[in-house]
Structure 1
Amino acid sequence: MTRTHRLTATAAIALTAALSMTASLAIAGDNNVSANQIVNALQPKPLTRSLSGAPQIDPAVKAKEMSFVATLQNRKTRSLSTGEREEIAEIASTKPKIDLDIQFDYNSAEISKASLPSVQELGKALSNASLRGSTFVLAGHTDAVGGEAFNQDLSERRADTIKRYLTDKYGINNGTDLVTVGYGKSKPKDPNAPMDPVNRRVEVVNMDTKTASK
């Protein structure tokens, strides 16, 4: 091999190593979400206004949503029917939300030590004055490994664990401010790879039960 070829090969190896390191840093950064990032993601979107200055929102739709959310408060996760879970998902699809990579011990609802910082940042975010007045949904999701009933139960228990942690450590009102729901493996983040760990997550949704036009 000539000297030029050796230099070219060395440069290629160095470039590959640099790209691998950059990818690793990006993945690590994604897992270390900050309270400010969560607050920004969960901020209610400002209402658009018509030429007359009136908010373009259907008051009847808003009232129906708020009425439904009120029926969920002080409810236990396992009391939710399939229809109620789907209605939560439908409302949540239009609301501010964030997916958090919160991992648990294997086949357990115990939060892993590596994920505690993310849960703590969530606690700080939901304690922020700018988010007070809304009800938040904590939605648990699993990957597709295992049976449907097992994953449904596991996702509910994991969502309940996050709720208890936020209540115990940050004093967040678990009766009116936090609603938990489990979706098991039914709503993967990556439908093309249902068994991928990326599907194991906790989705936090601001159900926007306060006036967003302030």
Structure 2
Amino acid sequence: MTHFRKTFGLKAITFTAVLSMTAGLACAGDTNVSASQILDALKPKPITRGLSAGPQADPTAQAKEAAFLNTVRNRPTRSLSLGERDQIAELAATKPKIDLEIQFDYNSAEIARTSVASVQALGKALSDSSLKGSTFVVAGHTDAIGSEEYNQGLSERRADTIKKYLVQNYGLDGNDLVTVGYGKTRLKDAANGADPINRRVQVVNMDTKTASK
């Protein structure tokens, strides 16, 4: 495994800042992003009524989505199958999401001291009453350096670290934080697999209330 050890030391992990199907709040690379900025990016986009409004949400599709998310709540990250990981990614594609710059210790899932403030801002945002009842996906990604097995495990451990910090320090319900690891299978810049932009943990507001729990 030594051959595949990461060489990135205290390098950046990003969370892509894009609101569903619209231009979002660009926070990538900004280590001073505030809780209010994170909150604004993760809030569901209001449905505009009138002739220009897009298609309304399908209650049947929403019910199926909620049922699926209930099957992956509070599951060990490593227990998710490839099919389940793909389904989470498909559902998350059109949801509000944000990128923060998080650093981890060398070849580790430990949050670097320089990034604690960013994770604290995330915790404050997710604790806001306007997001109460939403389910959030915390998805870990790596760059293309190293084996698939190693990167998969590293991405899962980093997602788990963020969840553990939020639960322990902000009292968030662990059932509302679905963790998933994608290793190097979903590169943000596939043409430059070693680019730091690929090393990220993405947070997505699935906008599914938890009343059914």
TM-score by length of 1: 0.80
* 1:111-147 Cα distance to aligned partner (Å, 9 max, x none): 1111111101000000011111111000011111111
Asked if 1:68 is matched to 2:60, the reply is: no
Q: Which residue of 2 aligns with 1:159?
A: 159
Give the CA deviation at 1:74.
Answer: 1.7
Cα gap change, 1:29 to 1:98, in 2 (>3 Å): closer
Aligned to 1:199: 198
User: Shift in Å at residue 34 of structure 1?
Assistant: 1.0
Instruction: State the secondary structure of the residue aligned to 1:107.
Output: coil
CA RMSD of aligned residues (A): 2.1
Structure 2 match to 1:10 = none
Q: 1:210 to 1:45 in 2, by over 3 A?
A: farther
The structure whose RCO (Cα within 8 Å, separation 6+) is larger is 2
1:182 has 2:204 as partner: no
Shift of 1:28: 9.4
Aligned to 1:30, the other structure's residue is in SS state coil
Mapped partners of 2:145, 2:112: distance in 1 = 19
Identity %: 68
Q: Which amino acid aligns with 1:194?
A: G
Residue 168 (structure 1) aligns with:
168
Q: Which runs of 5+ in 2 are unaligned?
A: 1-25
For residue 108 of structure 1, what is the aligned residue in structure 2? 108
**2:125 & 2:207 partners in 1: Cα distance?**
15
2-structure distance, mates of 1:93, 1:192: 20
Q: Which residue of 1 aligns with 2:37?
A: 37
- 1:87 maps to 87
Query: How many angstroms apart in 1 are the aligned matches of 2:102 and 2:201?
Result: 6
User: What is the alpha-carbon distance in structure 2 between the residues aligned to residue 193 and residue 178 of structure 1?
Assistant: 30
SS where residue 187 of structure 1 aligns? coil
What is the match of residue 123 of structure 2? 123
8 Å CA contact retained: 1:50, 1:56: no
Per-residue CA deviation, residues 3-53 of structure 1 (Å, 9 max, x unaligned), is xxxxxxxxxxxxxxxxxxxxxxx99972221111110111011124466x9
The corresponding residue for 2:46 is 46
Structure number with larger C-alpha Rg: 1
In the TM superposition, what whole-angstrom CA distance separates every residue of 1:79-98 from its partner, at most 9, and x where no partner exists?
Answer: 10000000000000010001
Q: For residues 28 and 182 of structure 2, what CA distance do their matches in structure 1 show?
A: 26
Output the CA distance in 2 between the equivalents of 1:63 and 1:28.
33
